[in-house]
Amino acid sequence: MPKKQKNKNFLLIFTRNPELGKAKTRLAKTVGDETALEIYKFLLQKTRDVSLKVNADKAVYYSVKIRTNDIWDNEIYQKYQQNGEDLGLRMKNAFKDGFNSGYQKVMIIGSDLYDLSPKNIENAFTELNNNDVVIGPALDGGYYLLGMNSLQENIFENKDWGKETVRKDTLKNLQDKKVKLLEFKNDIDLYEDILDIPEIMFKFINPKKHSM
């Protein structure tokens, strides 16, 4: 249960534990397990750096095991393990804990987005002043950000998680709510997703080509 409430805004960060062979498995089919893991660690650090600049209480939700000695400062980030049979239930439980702890606005982001900025997240919290739900749409049909000012349980149920229908089905559940859609952004799941990101290509891909 979230604690140490200092802010009315609560930012949830869902992460996968960075383990070889389990991180970015679709990307790994092209670049290999080791490179995929290094890219995911890079994205985790980028997510941390972005979230540090956001005016909100923050919590990291680990996929497998809570880590006390990692990149997430224990003094800044509350730490919990994801709880639920599928992604929807895990998100619903995290949101529910946030609202039960008294937070007025609760928002979730993933940890595999390259171009998410502190300003994007701050703007999303601001949009919740005039909207029930805010969604950051991802190009793959899902979303990279989801925020609300009261728990909308139905949007976490009966979804084919990981499929391109998630956002469309979510919006159907919210037809009687005021929803703000943010700008589209792209999760990094496949090799094609990193081709237009010079920093990642130069740091993790090209040096390997040159050394062959």
- Cβ proximity of 89 and 156 under 8 Å: yes
Which residue blocks in 53-155 are alpha helix, DSSP H?
87-100, 118-127
Instruction: State the average pLDDT over residues 38-66.
Output: 96
Distance of CA 156 to the CA centre of its chain: 15
Rounded percentage of the chain residues whose pLDDT exceeds 90:
82
Pair 111, 62: CB distance under 8 Å:
no
- 188-199 pLDDT tens trace: 999 999 999 999
User: Regarding the domain with residue range 9-210, which homologous superfamily does it belong to in the CATH classification?
Assistant: Spore Coat Polysaccharide Biosynthesis Protein SpsA; Chain A (3.90.550.10)
Strands 143-148 and 105-109: antiparallel
Q: What whole-number distance in Å separates Cα of residue 205 and Cα of residue 208?
A: 6
Q: What is the pLDDT of residues 101-123, one digit of tens each?
A: 999 999 999 999 999 999 999 99
- Can you give the pLDDT at residue 210? 40
Give CA separation, 75 vs 4, 71, 104, in Å. Answer: 10, 12, 22
> pLDDT at residue 3 above 80?
no
Coil, helix or strand at residue 194: coil
pLDDT at 4: 59
Instruction: For residue 17, name the pLDDT band (cuts at 50, 70, 90).
Output: confident
Task: Tell me: pLDDT of 175 over 60.
Answer: yes
What are the extents of the domains in the chain?
A: 9-210
* Residue 1 scores a pLDDT above 90: no
